[in-house]
Structure 1
Amino acid sequence: MELQLAKKVVVITGPAKGMGPAITRAFADEGSRLVLAGRDMAAIEALALELRGSRAETMSIRCDVTQPADAEALAAATLECFGQIDVLVNVAGGTGPVGGTTWTTTTEEFEQIVELNLTGCFNMMHAVMPSMIERRYGKIVNVGGTFGMRGRSGRMAYSASKWGLRGVTKSAALEAGRHNINVNYVAPGMVDGERFRTKVVPDVMRRLSLSEDEAVAHHAQDYALQRISSDADVANACLFLASDVSRQITGVDLPVDGGWAML
């Protein structure tokens, strides 16, 4: 299936951390022109150098998504460089406090993660949508999480930020649809990566006296497909929703979790 993402101008926030590199490389493999935006410029430049080595056209820019002025400057710089913005993929985000409760989470902890995971996405959408409306074309993919679909004890602040992002996504989809702009939400579950291997798996090993392979298998039992998602699974979902193959899909929550959120 041809996704027709070659030469599309794709803005990706948080491209160099967590699932960001896999998503970024997936768009590079499709021949997209990439704008890599975030705060850790050393990590972003290292990724950009790798991509340029494979002849991907990239631009890197420092952007704190929680700052509206940074988001607006990013949009302006992209338009100056490439003349258009076809796709926005909001990957930048954080985990927030882990293990606390509603009554032990501080106001500062709550506000910080909501500002990053929710307000940051709003700031980026606010910055890029006017040019999309003018061209009557745009794709926005907000990367959330399944804890924003089922909730999770000990992750109240994070869940709140991702539940809120779902509301922003759905409202924006209703508002922007008449301008030929699709807005969707990708919800990764647990992804087999650094955090899973260094935090989740060791915790299961200690609690249940299991080997690493046994701990992974035990965790996978929570999912209908009996396997842990990879960052490539998440990247492929982003590609699909950023392409015209999904032109009639907007305002949806797409869990990429092996069947956890629906159980």
Structure 2
Amino acid sequence: MSKKRFLRWIYAFNYTFITDLQAIKMNEFNQQAALVTGAASGIGLAIAHKLLAEGAKVALLDCNEKGLQNEFAGYKEQVMLIGVDITDEALVQETVDQVLAHFGKIDILVNCVGITGATNLKSHEVSSENLHKVFEVNFMSCFYTSKAVLPSMMAQNYGRILHIASIAGKEGNAGMLAYSASKAAVIGLTKVQGKEYAEYGITVNALAPAVIQTPLVDALPDVQVKYMTDKIPMKRCGTLDEAADLVAYIVSSKNSFTTGFTFDLSGGRATY
């Protein structure tokens, strides 16, 4: 073989190798099935698009079924679009059974549903009704969905569960009792489940974002947003892309030795 032909062969080999690596990277979740709650907006929407772009089949849950149709109808057989009240345990179990029947398995669960409830209130001003509502959406939904998917994950000896918590669950935000307490409960749930299923090839982790630019944050009073943003050493909001990229690692097969952990996404606000 001449030197010229040899150099061409090396170039072609390198090009093919790099292209194959890029294809593998773009299909990190190929042949995997995921379930994402709160997928019609905010962080859930960004995560859903990320998983779909990397090859996963994804069941997308949200009470806003029209929003799901508007965002994901083009994916066709790669998605299941399910409008469901995530605070109804029986409906959640029925939905998980439906997803298992359709995809044959659930490898990944990402819980993104969340509401702030009434804010800018001191604790004695918080209504019990609002507190219960926030806990039902933010905490009980994580319990219901994980309870429903865990048996199938145990049977296949593999699973990735991620609960979206909040920096408020670590530190507590004044004026946000219901939200802060419910997210603290999510972190507690993560620690327990991480220990309970560690020997089944299942990791259970949480993500604690600070202020991420989402419709949820846009709906908060300016004074509340300023209070939270002022605490971030980077002096900016996080982005949806930053959140989705970190989530993609946490729920990937690469993240195989971290469980029961709360990942920081706070621009340095809380690193514990």
TM-score, normalised via structure 1 length: 0.88
For residue 61 of structure 1, the aligned residue among 73, 79, 82 is: 82
The separation in 1 between residues aligned to 2:103 and 2:213, in whole angstroms, is: 35
Structure 1 match to 2:72: 48
Query: Is 1:156 equivalent to 2:177 in the alignment?
Result: yes
Look up the SS of the partner of 2:52 in the other structure. helix
Note if contact 1:36-1:60 (Cα within 8 Å) is conserved in structure 2. Answer: yes
Asked whether the 8 Å contact 2:120–2:224 carries over to 1, the reply is no
Q: Equivalent of 1:98, from 106, 119, 124?
A: 119
Alignment pair present for 1:77 and 2:91: no
Deviations 1:131-178 (A, max 9, x none): 000111100000111100100110011111000011111101111111
The alignment-based identity, stated in percent, is 26
Q: Any gaps of 5 or more consecutive residues in structure 2?
A: 1-20
Counterpart check, 1:240 vs 2:255: no
1:170 to 185, 191, 214: 191
1:195 and 1:35 map into 2 onto residues whose CA distance is: 22
Deviation of 1:192 (Å): 2.2
User: Does 2:239 match 1:230?
Assistant: yes
1:127 matched to which residue of 2? 148
Mapping for residues 183-194 of structure 1, pairs under 5 Å:
183-194=204-215
Give, in angstroms, the shift of residue 60 of structure 1.
1.1
Distance in 1 between residues matched to 2:202 and 2:118, nearest whole Å: 34
- Cα deviation, 1:37-57, whole Å, max 9, x if unaligned, reads 1211101111221444xxx71
Unaligned runs of at least 5 residues, structure 1: 206-214
Contact 2:167 2:208 (C-alpha < 8 Å) held by counterparts = yes
C-alpha separation between the residues in 1 aligned to 2:212 and 2:38?
16
Task: Note the 1:30-49 alignment, pairs <5 A.
Answer: 30-49=54-73
Q: Per the alignment, in what secondary structure is the counterpart of residue 89 of structure 1?
A: strand
Over aligned residue pairs, what C-alpha RMSD do you find? 2.2
Map 1:9-24 → 2, pairs under 5 A: 9-24=33-48
Tell me which structure has the larger Cα radius of gyration.
Answer: 2
Counterpart residue type for residue 37 of structure 1: L
Q: 1:96 to 1:173 in 2, by over 3 A?
A: same
- For residues 180 and 154 of structure 1, the distance between their equivalents in structure 2, rounded to whole angstroms, comes to 39
Q: Is the 8 A contact 1:25 1:51 kept in 2?
A: no
Provide Cα deviations, 1:199-220, integer angstroms capped at 9, x if missing partner: 55x5599xxxxxxxxx8xx976
Query: Could you tell me how far apart the structure 1 residues matched to 2:184 and 2:68 are?
Result: 28
2:260 is the counterpart of 1:251: yes
Q: Specify the SS of the correspondent of 1:75.
A: helix
How far off is 1:238 after superposition?
1.2
User: Partner letter of residue 35 of structure 2?
Assistant: V
Report how far residue 221 of structure 1 moved: 5.5
Q: Deviations over 1:227-249 (max 9, x none)?
A: 32001111112111110111111
Q: Distance in 1 between matches of 2:267 and 2:259?
A: 22
The count of aligned residue pairs is 248
Q: 1:28-83: CA deviations, max 9, x gaps? A: 1111101011211101111221444xxx7101122212111111111111111010
SS of the residue corresponding to residue 80 of structure 2 reads strand
Counterpart code for 1:91: C
